[in-house]
Structure 1
Amino acid sequence: MRLLLFRHAKSDWGDPNLADIDRPLNSRGKTASLKMARYMQEQGLKPNQILCSTAQRTRETLARLLPTLTQETQIHLVSDLYQQSEDNYAGLIRRYGGRAQNLMVIGHNPATQDTALDLIGTESSGALTDIQEKFPTGALAVIDFDIADWSELQPKTGHLERFVKPRDLKGETG
């Protein structure tokens, strides 16, 4: 099974009157999320289930991904992904993931980074060092597991297949 941990793209801090949950993407975030969506489509990274935080910036990140999905995908808006954004998401993945072969979680930091670091047991490149240093907005970690149901998820059992940041993609400046 495959987990796609996707941190929301860059958000707009321009309106100090907006509650944190209501902050939208800024222009850089809109561009980066579209580039990441195209990358996922080109690479065949197709979730059949998506768990997305209820925050505006995560929903806008999801909206840019939707046009690239060519298969049926179950989408669940999960308020706990926002409310527990300071915690590890492994418990939520166990609870909501079911038997989804390719599960995507669109969430926040530090939970996205902490979840990746908690679940990765092996990796084939220096990508783990990148994740340890920073899990920037719009970045995607692809982690593979040898399990039949997400309820079986255990720490340090995943293989980090890749870690991609928007700035890694052609034409993206950061």
Structure 2
Amino acid sequence: MKTLTLLRHAKSGWDDTVARDFDRPLNAKGRKAAQVVGAHLRRLDLDFDHIVASPAERVKQTIEDVAAGYGRTIAPAWDTRLYLASSATLLDVARETPADADRLLMIGHNPGLEDFVLLLMGKGDPALVREAELKYPTATVAELTFDIDHWADLAPASGTLTRFIRPRDLDPALGPSED
């Protein structure tokens, strides 16, 4: 049994004038959402054997803030392939995970993460599946389980969606802005 947890970076700041999208930081709401999500991961007592993340600034800041709420260090393997990756690239990266790692955390960007969840989902709680099919908001955590022994055997439509946690589910103030 393998468990894949996907975390989309928190809300970034479009008002910040940076030369490259890669360098765009989080905004204040994103920083708070990441901490709230981290605290929720701690309450769930989730642990990860292997972590891989995009090296983009907004992902790095998401990890810092999630770790602050989580109360544990999150030390990913940085992989540039995750920066704005397609679902096919994410699948390739996941399949490279060491076989002895049972719990993988991948941290990256949309639309790739959303497409990846939709690619892998074979079943799950109908309410969770509906939410995942609608939208994958910033700082959202999706968890899928797979009845496989090796990550290399990860296949489309083979996962069971077991969690889909949006920041607004944890704190309504972190929902979409009305403006």
Same fold at TM > 0.5: yes
Residues 66-85 of structure 1: CA distance to partner in whole angstroms, max 9, x if unpaired?
A: 34255x86620010000x52
Q: Which moved more, 1:146-155 or 1:84-93?
A: 84-93
Partners of 1:161 and 1:146 lie apart in 2 by 13
Give the root-mean-square deviation of aligned CA atoms: 1.8
1:124-163 counterparts in 2 under 5 A?
124-163=125-164
Map of 2:121 onto structure 1: 120
Map of 1:23 onto structure 2: 24
CA contact 1:47–1:73 (8 Å) conserved in 2: no
Pair 1:173–1:64, CA change in 2 (3 A):
closer
Partners of 1:18 and 1:135 lie apart in 2 by 26
2:174 alignment partner, SS class? coil
1:126 alignment partner, SS class? helix
Pair 1:30–1:3, CA change in 2 (3 A):
same
Pair 1:171–1:126, CA change in 2 (3 A):
closer
Pair 1:87–1:126, CA change in 2 (3 A):
same
Task: Kindly provide the amino acid, as one letter, of the partner of residue 57 in structure 2.
Answer: Q
Residues 23-77 of structure 1: CA distance to partner in whole angstroms, max 9, x if unpaired?
A: 011000000000000001101222121111010001111112334255x866200
1:47 equivalent to 2:48? Answer yes
2:15 alignment partner, SS class? coil
Map of 1:4 onto structure 2: 5
Map of 1:85 onto structure 2: 85
Aligned residues: 172
1:49-88 counterparts in 2 under 5 A?
49-67=50-68, 68=70, 70=72, 75-82=76-83, 84-88=84-88
Q: Which moved more, 1:8-17 or 1:94-103?
A: 94-103
1:100-111 counterparts in 2 under 5 A?
100-111=101-112
Map of 1:14 onto structure 2: 15
2:148 alignment partner, SS class? coil
State the percentage of identical aligned residues: 33
Map of 1:170 onto structure 2: 171
Task: Kindly provide the amino acid, as one letter, of the partner of residue 113 in structure 1.
Answer: E
Q: Which runs of 5+ in 1 are unaligned?
A: none
CA contact 1:48–1:73 (8 Å) conserved in 2: no
Q: Which runs of 5+ in 2 are unaligned?
A: none
Pair 1:74–1:12, CA change in 2 (3 A):
closer
CA contact 2:18–2:24 (8 Å) conserved in 1: no
